[in-house]
């Protein structure tokens, strides 16, 4: 068997494994949804265990405050529990959950803005096609007090720049850069086209780079 034939066979095997894995995941998800609709307590606990960290992470990246993020995550799971009966599985369970989390975080953010609460955001943003992120630009915590002070000032400037970026750009960036959702998943989560997703991410990246170009 030639090297080309062997490579083709390996790719076919990998493709088959991927399809079978996806089928198993979809079957498990369908079963979990059925149990959730039946108000199975263990099913809800399983869902919380699986999604608790990513939901909190998403809320924290959007709100920039640990306490606010906990509140938003808690409200997200309450809405999931109350709304699971109406979930029609037209999108994936994960994207449905992320949509609820994004909406909850944004509603909470607007509520605080009306009360003039300062906003801080934390975000690791890839620079173009590079694997380097803005988070990598910040020095390690195991540094001297002087370096730590410089790092804090630098991070503060990045946070300020992020706070000035349009919310729709920030949401798309967080979903792509931090949560690592595909363009298709982001489109489903936000209810927009894939073209709009790509446009928001590109504009958000460019706007953030422009604001912190001296730090990169």
- In the chain, which residues fall in CATH 1.10.10.10? 120-216
pLDDT band with cut points at 50, 70 and 90 for residue 181: very high
Task: Check: CB of residue 95 under 8 Å from CB of residue 185.
Answer: yes
What DSSP string runs through 137-174? HSPPSSS-HHHHHHHHHHHHHHHHHHHTS-HHHHHHHI
- Which range of 6-10, 61-65, 128-132 scores highest in mean pLDDT? It is 61-65
pLDDT at 152: 63
Among 5-14, 67-76, 86-95, 125-134, which stretch is predicted with the lowest mean pLDDT?
A: 125-134
Q: Which of 146, 141, 186, 151 is nearest to 168 (CA)?
A: 186
Please give the mean pLDDT across all residues of the chain.
76
pLDDT at 118: 47
85 DSSP assignment: G
Task: Select the more confidently predicted residue: 151 or 66.
Answer: 66
pLDDT at 213: 77
pLDDT at 56: 93
Q: Which of 47, 45, 70 is nearest to 58 (CA)?
A: 70
- What is the mean predicted confidence (pLDDT) over 195-215? 87
Task: Tell me the CATH number of domain 120-216, given options 3.20.20.70, 1.10.10.10, 2.40.50.100, 3.90.1170.50.
Answer: 1.10.10.10
Tens of pLDDT, residue by residue over 111-170, are: 655 555 544 444 444 444 444 444 444 444 454 555 555 456 666 676 667 667 888 998
Task: Tell me the CATH number of domain 1-118, given options 1.25.40.10, 1.10.1740.10, 1.10.510.10, 2.40.10.10.
Answer: 1.10.1740.10
Total Cβ atoms within 10 A of residue 38: 10
pLDDT band with cut points at 50, 70 and 90 for residue 85: confident
133 DSSP assignment: B
pLDDT at 115: 53
pLDDT at 65: 82
- In the chain, which residues fall in CATH 1.10.1740.10? 1-118
Tens of pLDDT, residue by residue over 36-61, are: 999 999 999 999 999 999 999 899 88
């Amino acid at each position: 068997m030639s090297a080309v034939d062997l490579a083709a066979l390996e790719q076919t095997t990998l493709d088959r494994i991927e399809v079978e894995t996806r089928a198993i995941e979809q079957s498990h998800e369908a079963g979990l949804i059925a149990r959730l609709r039946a108000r199975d307590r263990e099913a809800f606990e399983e869902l919380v265990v699986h999604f608790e960290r990513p939901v909190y992470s998403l809320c924290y990246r959007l709100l920039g405050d640990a306490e606010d993020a906990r509140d938003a995550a808690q409200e997200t799971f309450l809405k999931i529990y109350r709304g699971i009966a109406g979930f029609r599985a037209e999108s994936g369970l994960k994207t449905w959950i992320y949509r609820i989390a994004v909406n909850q975080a944004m509603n909470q953010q607007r509520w605080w803005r009306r009360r003039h609460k300062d906003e801080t955001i934390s975000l690791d943003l890839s620079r173009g096609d590079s694997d380097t992120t803005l988070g990598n630009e910040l020095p390690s915590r195991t540094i001297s007090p002087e370096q730590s002070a410089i790092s804090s000032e630098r991070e503060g400037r990045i946070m300020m720049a992020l706070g000035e970026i349009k919310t729709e750009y920030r949401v798309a960036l967080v979903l792509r850069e931090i949560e690592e959702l595909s363009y298709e998943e982001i489109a489903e989560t936000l209810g927009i086209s894939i073209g709009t997703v790509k446009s928001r991410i590109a504009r958000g990246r460019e706007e953030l780079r422009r604001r912190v170009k001296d730090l990169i």
